[in-house]
Amino acid sequence: MVAGLLLLVAMGVFQLGLALYVRNSLISAASEGARFGARADAGLQAGVDRTTQLITAGLSERFADDVTAVERTADGVRVVEVTVRAPLPVIGPIGPSGRLVVSGRAFSENQVGTGTS
């Protein structure tokens, strides 16, 4: 019985570690994609493509199915925001279900009207 309980606890810790690894990898890819898409010579689609490329190389294609980018204004500054919606990795029938939603932001290099004269 002790071995069974210990195995269950070990699997729970492994599950948590895997979920945190995937979440941090997705945040890193989204942030890098936002920085790439915020460049003056790039666009939103370039940020989405870069994010998808990083996720596919680091994790799996199934985590890169839903990647979007938008340009927003936050406190008068234009920012590029890349959002990734991915499945939560679950091992076995026991564990959390749902989706991870993470995003990365970067200041757009195409600021209009923010300078002083």
Q: Is the pLDDT of residue 92 over 70?
A: no
pLDDT, mean of residues 97-109? 89
**Per-residue pLDDT band at 117 (split at 50, 70, 90):** very low
Mean pLDDT of the residues in the chain: 87
Query: Is pTM, for the whole model, over 0.85?
Result: no
Q: Is residue 50 part of a domain?
A: yes
Q: Which residue has the higher pLDDT, 20 or 74?
A: 20
Confidence band of 33 (pLDDT split at 50, 70, 90): very high
Residue 65 located in a structural domain: yes
Indicate whether 94 belongs to any domain: yes
Indicate whether 112 belongs to any domain.
no
Tell me which residue of 16, 53, 17 sits closest to 32, measured CA to CA: 53
> What value does the mean pLDDT take over residues 69-94?
86
Distance CA 102, CA 83 (A): 6
Please indicate, yes or no, if residue 113 is contained in any of the structural domains: no
pLDDT of res. 106: 93
- Cα 17 from chain centroid (whole Å): 17
Spatial distance between the Cα atoms of 74 and 83, rounded to a whole number of angstroms = 16
Q: How many domains does the structure of the chain reveal? A: 1
Domain that holds residue 61: 2-107
What kind and span of H or E run contains 82? Answer: strand 77-87
Region 52-80: mean pLDDT is: 92
Does 49 reside within a domain? yes
Dihedral pair phi/psi, residue 25, rounded to 5°:
-65, -40
d(CA 2, CA 64): 40
Do the domain assignments include residue 42?
Answer: yes
Please return the burial class of 87, using the count of CB atoms within 10 Å of its CB with bins 0-12, 13-18 and 19+. Answer: middle
Question: How many angstroms separate the CA atoms of 52 and 33, rounded?
Answer: 8
Q: Judge whether 27 lies within some domain.
A: yes
